[in-house]
Every structure is written in C-alpha cells, then in structure tokens.
Amino acid sequence: MKIILSKEIGFCFGVKKAVEIAQKVLVTDNQEVYMLGCLIHNPQVMEMFQKKGAKIAYNIQEIPENSTIITRAHGVSPSELQEAAKKRLKVINTICPYVKKVQEVAKYLATNNYFIVIFGDKKHPEIKAIMDTIYQNAEVIEQVNDLKEMKYHKKIGLISQTTKNINDYKKISFYLLEKTEELRIFNTICKATTKRQASALELSSQVDIMLVIGGKESANTSRLVEICRNQGVKTQHIERTEELDYQWFKPQYTVGITSGASTPDWVIEEVINKIREWYN
Amino acid sequence: MKIILSKEIGFCFGVKKAVEIAQKVLVTDNQEVYMLGCLIHNPQVMEMFQKKGAKIAYNIQEIPENSTIITRAHGVSPSELQEAAKKRLKVINTICPYVKKVQEVAKYLATNNYFIVIFGDKKHPEIKAIMDTIYQNAEVIEQVNDLKEMKYHKKIGLISQTTKNINDYKKISFYLLEKTEELRIFNTICKATTKRQASALELSSQVDIMLVIGGKESANTSRLVEICRNQGVKTQHIERTEELDYQWFKPQYTVGITSGASTPDWVIEEVINKIREWYN
C-alpha cells in the first residue's frame, strides 16, 4: 500500500502559536488556568491541556474572580473581554493574527458605514466574535442562496471567515455586485487555508481513498472533507486512530492523507502507523 | 409581419441632455461652434449638427482661439481642457453625469493608492479620458483573458466603462479577487445600459430576427448586437434605413427592434416605415 501525505499538513501558523502560548502558561502559572471554550478545535490537544491542569469554561460566569484565562485562537468577543475585566481575570489572548485582521477590517467597514456581509458559519466562534465586534447592520451568509433575499445597499463590505474556500467566496462576490453601487471585498481567507485546500484537491485526484484527520468541530477540516468528496474520491473524516476501519482499504490502494490546521503531528503519525500495521 | 420594439429604446438620459445642450448653443451662439470629435456616436445626429453650422475638430490644435467648443458626452480629458484654456476657448462640457462619476471614482482610487483596473475599450473616448484623469498605475482590460498576466497588488480598484455588460464585469471581478488583498469594485455601469441590454435579451428570445439600430462606432450598440447574437437569434446591425435588405425578412416573421443609446427616434421610425412599406 502506498501512502501519500498532502504537501500542507499539520498545525498552521496560528494554531502552533496558540498551542505554544497555552503550554507556556500552563507550565509557568501557579494559579488555576481556565480556557474559554476550545482553544483550538482538536479534542486530543484539548485533552492534553486538561491533563496538564487546564480547566474548560464555556462562559465567563463559570470562572472564579482573579483567575487566568486563555482565550481561543478563533478570537474573543469585546463583550467577553468586558466581562473578564469586571471579574479581574488575567486574559491570555491567543487570537490568530489572521482572525484578528478580519475583526479589524469589520470594525473599519462598520465605522465607514458599509453594510457588512460576512461569509461564514453563523455558529462558529470566529464569526460570533466578529458580530460582537461590530455594532451595526451586518449579515452572515453561509451559502450563495442566502443572498437571494438581500436588499440593495449603497455600499457593501464583504469579508470572510479565514477558513472558507476562495471559490465559494468568489461566487458570493459575483452575486453581490448587483446589490450595490460599491462592493469592497477583503480577501480575509488565510493563505495557508487556500494552499492546504489546493494541496488536498490535487492529492485527491491521485489516490483511491482520502483520509482527512481532524476535529469534528473544526470548520477547516470539514471544508477539506467537502473538497475531496466534491472531487469524487472516497473520503473518510476521522478524529482519532480508533475510528479507522480495516475494510476501507485494499492492499493495492494508494491512500492520501491530509489534516485540519489544528491536528497535531502525533495524531497523523498514529494513523499512519495503524494503517502500516494492517497493510505491511 | 409583426414588429415588436424593445421596452428600452431611443436616446438615454445622458445623450438626450448632451443633444439638448448642443442644440441650444448652436441656436444662441453667434460665433463659430466646434465639436471636439463626435458629441455622441450617431452619424445622423452629427450630420444634423453640421447642417446647423457646427464644425467637427478632432483635436484642440485645429480650433481657432476664442472659439466655442462643445465636448463629448463621453467626457473630455484634463489635458484637452488645459489646452482649451490656453487657447481661451469657451468650453461647453456635455459630459454624461454617469461618465463623470467614473472619472471621479478613478481619481479617488488613484489618490488612495489603488492599482486601478478599468474594464473598457482601450480606444473609446470615455476610457481615454479616464486614463488621462489618473496619473498612476492603471490597466485597461477588454476581456477576462487580459487578466492572466496581471501581477499581485495589495489594493485593486475596479471600475467599468458605463456601457459594459454587467455579467462580463462580474467575471472580471471574479478573477481579480485572487490577485489582491482588497478588491474595491464600483458598479459604474449605467443602469439604463443594463436595463436596455436586459430588454434586448428578453426580446431576442421572442422574435425571428433582431434589428439593432445605431452607430457603427457606438460601443453600447455593438454590445446589444453581441448580446442578441449570443442568444442565437439572427441579428442585423444597421446605422441607416438604406442598409435594410428586403431579403432579411419573411411575411410571417416577428421582427424585434432595439437601438443604441444615441439613436434618435426619427431614425427608428424611418426603419419601421420602410419595413411596413415592404411587408404590409
């Protein structure tokens, strides 16, 4: 059996940075350390943090005063920061610089009276934090169809969740042009995401099965699965080695492997070892 | 034979305004009146102006000092205006307000350091005047293919000739998004143009032959011809009644008629009368 890894695999820059910051805090901080939701959308990494003493809280109310909190790589909202300040929490903000950029652009567009269209997943923390950053008319679009009902606006600013697909984003922009006099589009999709998606797409045309390794909650991982499936190749999304099924493979198969941006190398290695164990 | 006129036909707002201004000047001005190139791209109207005493000059050098000049509805360039001032010409500027808007947007984008992409015909006076308005990096794109060689720019501003097709404009914007971090698109296509094109498209699906009446130099007329032909209907572009050919028609035909934005009603009526003469 032949296994080919995607050229773009493992932690992205933003995740790597967030994980490093969190690990340092967990080693050096003497008091209790809380994480506000998932630092990154990978269960194994979150389990590792918990083993090292981190506690997970899903809102600020749960956290005792004066504690240390580490906030998500996907960003924290201004209202959460305000609440944290009221409770005198020591905030370690691990926001990815690319996500921060989207928040800044959103703020700029709001200040300049653009109607803001955000291409993203309504329930994703990155989008929730952006919506909380701007205090004005804005709409989150999950797919082109959501645009049908949109009214005409003199000026529209368009931004995207960092992990969206560039071609889908282009389609959104295509339909928006007739709804406005000025369409100002910021390409806020992170370049590493675009590269990772392109590599997965390229690989999926050369293999018999694609394995996408990453958290079930991870937006960028789900997008990789979607891209490979759209290419027509048999694709399995697994979070853990235990989910692997012997019957997915055949000895003569070429297996392609890619991962979400928050999947650690050790999980990828474990998956490869398991397949090798079966088929070598 | 059935003849159906397009819902949008005859002079557009900008042409009507320019023709009215010119007629008034020709009646009231006592000295020689020059037109700088074609006021509008319609030969019959230009012939009418010449009969009323207007002289046509193709550059400022030809015009005697202190004369009155009427400049094009498609706009006059800043360098032409400077030359005119040197010769103490009295300038009657008939620029269409929508064309003026494109010049203003181009200037704004240039001042704000955008690389400017203009979707338009390189040799059209509207585009030449815009290119002369901005003194910086800019590129005129006539079709999507022209974008292939385009380099990456941090900020791109996109504008269009007022008479371009909105769907082609969308395609241009689609390809530009990957060439930049910020794409700022102004929908400078005049709404009357978009409506006229949509009406022609609608009509062309209901008839056996489409007649598009308008100047051979008229960009918006050429676009109408293109749109009808792309729809698969037999389409004839005529400038004058004399160009009509008896053999194009059959008694059982339904004939669709549309016109460019600079075609006067009297020319359209003449064409209809000629067909009626043959086939009634």
- Measured distance CA(B245)–CA(B182) in Å, rounded: 52
pLDDT for position B31: 77
Distance from CA of B118 to the nearest CA of A (A): 15
Q: What dihedral do alpha carbons B158, B162, B166, B168 form, nearest 10°?
A: -70
Quote the pLDDT of residue B127: 95
Beta bridge mates, B183: A185, B156
Known catalytic residue at A20: no
Residue B160 token pair: 């269009």
In order, the DSSP letters of A59-123 are SGGGSPTT-EEEE-TT---HHHHHHHHHTT-EEEE---HHHHHHHHHHHHHHHTTPEEEEES-TT
Looking at every residue in chain B, the average pLDDT score rounds to 94
pLDDT of A104 over the 80 cut = yes
- The CA distance from B77 to B60, in Å, is 12
- A76-96 pLDDT per residue, tens: 988 999 999 999 999 999 999
CA dist B236 and A226 (Å) reads 48
Residues B116 and B186: their CA atoms lie apart, in Å, by 11
Q: A178, B166: Cβ pair inside 8 Å?
A: yes
- Asked if pLDDT for residue B148 goes beyond 90, the answer is no
Tell if the pTM clears 0.90, that is, is over it: no
Q: Is the ipTM of this complex over 0.85?
A: no
Reply yes or no on whether the pLDDT at B259 is more than 80: yes
Q: In angstroms, what CA-CA distances link B5 with A122, B210, B244?
A: 48, 10, 17
Residues from chain A contacting residue B166 (CB–CB below 8 Å): 177-178
Q: Looking at residue A99, what is its pLDDT?
A: 94
Report the DSSP beta bridge partners of residue A137: none
Q: Inter-chain contact B187–A185, Cβ cutoff 8 Å?
A: no
Which range of A64-68, A154-158, B150-154 scores highest in mean pLDDT? It is A154-158
Task: pLDDT band for B104, please (50, 70, 90 cuts).
Answer: very high
Contact state of A185 with B181 under an 8 Å Cβ cutoff: no
Q: How far is A166 from chain B (nearest CA, A)?
A: 8
Chain B residue with CA closest to A185: the answer is B183
Asked if the model's pLDDT at residue B135 lies above 80, the reply is no
Average confidence score pLDDT of chain A: 94
pLDDT of residue B170: 93
The mean pLDDT value for B75-94 works out to: 93
> Which band of pLDDT confidence, cut at 50, 70 and 90, is reported for residue A109?
very high
Query: Taking the mean position of all CA atoms in its chain, how far away is CA B236?
Result: 19
Positions of B marked active-site: 126
Residues of A in contact with B186 (CB under 8 A): 181-182
Q: Which residue has the tokens 């005047």?
A: B129
Q: Which of B169, B173, B186 sits opposite A181 (nearest CB)?
A: B186
Residue A266 CB neighbours (<10 A): 12
Asked if the C-beta of A181 comes within 8 angstroms of chain B's C-beta atoms, the answer is: yes
pLDDT tier for residue B223 given thresholds of 50, 70 and 90: very high
Name which of A54-58, B99-103, B135-139 the model is least confident about.
Answer: B135-139
Of B166, B170, B184, the CB nearest to A184: B184
- Residues B245-254: tens digit of each pLDDT: 999 999 999 9
Instruction: Assess whether pLDDT exceeds 90 at residue A29.
Output: no
Both tokens of A1, joined, read 């059996």
A169 contact residues in B (CB cutoff 8 A): 177
* In the predicted structure, residue A115 carries a pLDDT above the cut 80: yes
**B contacts of A185 (beta carbons < 8 Å):** 177, 182-185
Q: A235 pLDDT band (50/70/90 cuts)?
A: very high
Of B170, B178, B180, the CB nearest to A177: B170
Q: Which of A166, A181, A186 sits opposite B178 (nearest CB)?
A: A166
In angstroms, rounded to a whole number, what is the distance separating the alpha carbons of residues B200 and B215? 17
> In Å, what is the CA distance from A81 to each residue of A59, A132, A138, B43, B71?
11, 11, 21, 69, 60
Average pLDDT rounded to a whole number, residues A192-208: 95
Give the chain A residue whose CA is nearest to the CA of B155. A186
- Average pLDDT on A34-61 reads 93
Tell me the mean pLDDT in the region B19-48.
91
Q: In the A/B pair of chains, how many CB contacts fall below 8 A? A: 48
pLDDT band at B87 (very low <50, low <70, confident <90, very high): very high
Q: Cβ A183–B182 below 8 Å, yes or no?
A: no
CB–CB contact B187 A178 (8 Å): yes
Q: Is A152 on the interface with B (CB under 8 A)?
A: no
Q: Is the dihedral of CA A57, A59, A62, A66 positive or negative?
A: positive
Comparing A26-30, A198-202, B151-155, the range with the smallest average pLDDT is A26-30
In this prediction, residue A21 carries a pLDDT of 94
Helix (H, G, I), strand (E, B), or coil: what is residue B46? helix
Provide the pLDDT for residue B5: 97
Is residue A3 predicted with pLDDT exceeding 90?
yes
- Which percentage of chain A shows pLDDT scores above 70? 100
Q: Which of B174, B183, B187 sits opposite A174 (nearest CB)?
A: B174
* Residue A133: partners with Cβ closer than 8 Å, 6 or more residues away: A77, A78, A103, A106, A107
pLDDT given for residue A133 in this prediction: 87
pLDDT score recorded for residue B52: 92
Is the Cβ of B243 closer than 8 Å to some Cβ of chain A? no
Q: Give, as one character, the DSSP assignment of residue B177.
A: G
Which residue from A minimizes the CA distance to B176? Answer: A170
Instruction: Determine the average pLDDT of the residues in A140-163.
Output: 94
CA distance A156 to chain B (A): 10
Residue from A181, A193, A194, A197 to probe the interface with B (highest B Cβ count within 10 Å): A181
φ, ψ of residue A183 in degrees (nearest 5)? -115, 115
Residue B149: per-residue pLDDT: 86
